[in-house]
Amino acid sequence: MTSYDEKKSDGQLQIHLITKQAQFAVPDVPVSIQSNVTSKELNNLLNTLLCENTEFTASNIEFDFLVKSEFLKTSLGKHLRDRDVSFEDIVEIEYVERFPAPEPQDCLLHDDWVSAIQANGEWILTGSYDNSVNVWNMKGDHKLTLSGHEAPIKGVTWISVNEDTGMALFASGSKDQTIMIWEWNIGSNKANCIYICKGHERAVECVSVSPNGKQIASGGWDNFLKIWSATTLDDNSDVVASNKKPKTEEGNIRTPQMTLEGHREAVSSCTWIDNSTVLTSSWDHTMKIWDLNMRAIKNEVPGNKSFFDASYSNLNGMIVAASADKNIRLFDPRSNQGVIVKSTFFGHNAWVQSVCWSKTEEFLFISGAYDNQVKLWDYRSPKAPLFDLVGHEDKVMAVDWSNPKYMLSGGADNTLRIFKSKKVLEE
């Protein structure tokens, strides 16, 4: 039997089409449409209005439609019923140009699982379960393989790339309980380990460099967050907690500037929010935000399952977190009610292992999971991803979007996959 509300959805309603993209603006007047329309019919309507009322010459532009702050993925009537919106009122619909599907590029083969990735400009760092660190360029050319670790690599991070001097610094963290800081002469294509950071009592799971390039954060299976100097200079005056004298370094052995306790299980990820604030996620079902000046936890985010990764966006001030319950969650640490879940994203059907915000698109992030899938999300569309980035034949272990032009993923199929963002290239 059809309900009264469902019957209402078969009728007409009035909509008000608005946009923040001035080049796509249409007349500011209500439009009457059938309530069972989908985004496909709205796209046809909008393209017709653009051609009739503006000097717009392009055809078949694809748009997404925001109704009550969420993308329309069903019929308009069902979307409104689900949110208890009256059919008698004029419905405001904001439209935005649809983000184009990323294009698959290179597939770079490794000798073992690809478990860590980070891009910096044209360069890519990867860490592998064969204990090696590799450097590639975005064209798919392999530049270096670096040996030195005695166990699989779980984290890599660029410290600096100086095109003027032709020198670069980066770090790698390993299950061998150490972090190595490498110096790479780009011109001669030679690299050396200049520091070995020792202090973790069990496997290192993650590494991350501060925005100013002065310090490295690391987390591991000893449940500790540790902070290290990333500078190659004797002057550490700009680093957090500089009033504390660094421990003595013997040769190229570096010891932590501070060790922070608070997690009850392994630290799965560490991300800098600013030069004195670090976000960590853990197997203990919590994320923590640390104030390094105070050497204390500033905020704690509880979860119902282990967190495997977390990514903070400087564009929107929010956190996306990957979890063992197959879902991704969006948190706003600025909330007056404490850090609360703003949205839950459904689509993966296995552990979500890695997440990463776009550096230029405030609504977008990517995820990788043990279901062999990489997905591109807009946080205004929690019920479905924008696109599936297909290709991996085994579980995805790491994703990265540090270079706005390229989305990167690494997996247990021994590959690094590169997807090109068409939008950045078109702009």
For domain 12-97, is the CATH number 3.10.20.90?
yes
Q: 423 burial class (0-12, 13-18, 19+ CB within 10 angstroms)?
A: middle
Distance CA 422, CA 107 (A): 18
Q: Which helix (H) or strand (E) holds 47?
A: helix 39-53
153-162 vs 167-174, strand pairing mode: antiparallel
329 phi and psi angles, rounded to 5 deg? -125, 150
Strand partners of residue 103: 420
Q: Which of 100-104, 241-245, 343-347 has the lowest mean pLDDT?
A: 241-245
> Would the pLDDT of 212 be above 70?
yes
Residue the block writes with tokens 């040769």: 251
Q: Is the dihedral of CA 401, 402, 406, 408 positive or negative?
A: negative
Q: Tell whether pTM > 0.85.
A: yes
CATH of the structural domain 103-426, one choice from 2.130.10.10, 3.40.50.300, 3.40.50.2300, 2.10.25.10: 2.130.10.10
How do the domains of the chain map onto residue ranges? 12-97, 103-426
Strand partners of residue 319: 312, 331
Residue the block writes with tokens 């380990």: 193
> Would the pLDDT of 383 be above 60?
yes
Q: Which helix (H) or strand (E) holds 53?
A: helix 39-53
Say if CB 408 and CB 420 are below 8 A apart.
Answer: no
pLDDT tens digits, 386-404? 999 999 999 999 999 999 9
What is the layout of strands, in order, in the sheet containing 277-282?
267-274, 277-282, 286-291, 296-302
Here the tokens at position 217 are 């954060």
- Reduce the DSSP state of residue 43 to 3 states and report it: helix
Return the half-sphere exposure (C-beta side, CA atoms, 13 A cut-off) of residue 146.
Answer: 27
Residue 107, number of CB atoms within 10 A of its CB: 13
Say if CB 318 and CB 311 are below 8 A apart.
Answer: no
Residue the block writes with tokens 């689900």: 82
pLDDT tens digits, 34-66? 999 999 999 999 998 988 876 666 668 899 999
Residue 158, number of CB atoms within 10 A of its CB: 19
Confidence band of 8 (pLDDT split at 50, 70, 90): very low
- Mean pLDDT, rounded, of the chain: 91
Q: Which residues contact 245 (CB under 8 A, 6 or more apart)?
A: none
Confidence band of 10 (pLDDT split at 50, 70, 90): low
DSSP string for 155-200: EEEEEEEETTTTEEEEEEEETTSEEEEEEEETTTTEEEEEEEEE--
Residue the block writes with tokens 């008000």: 16
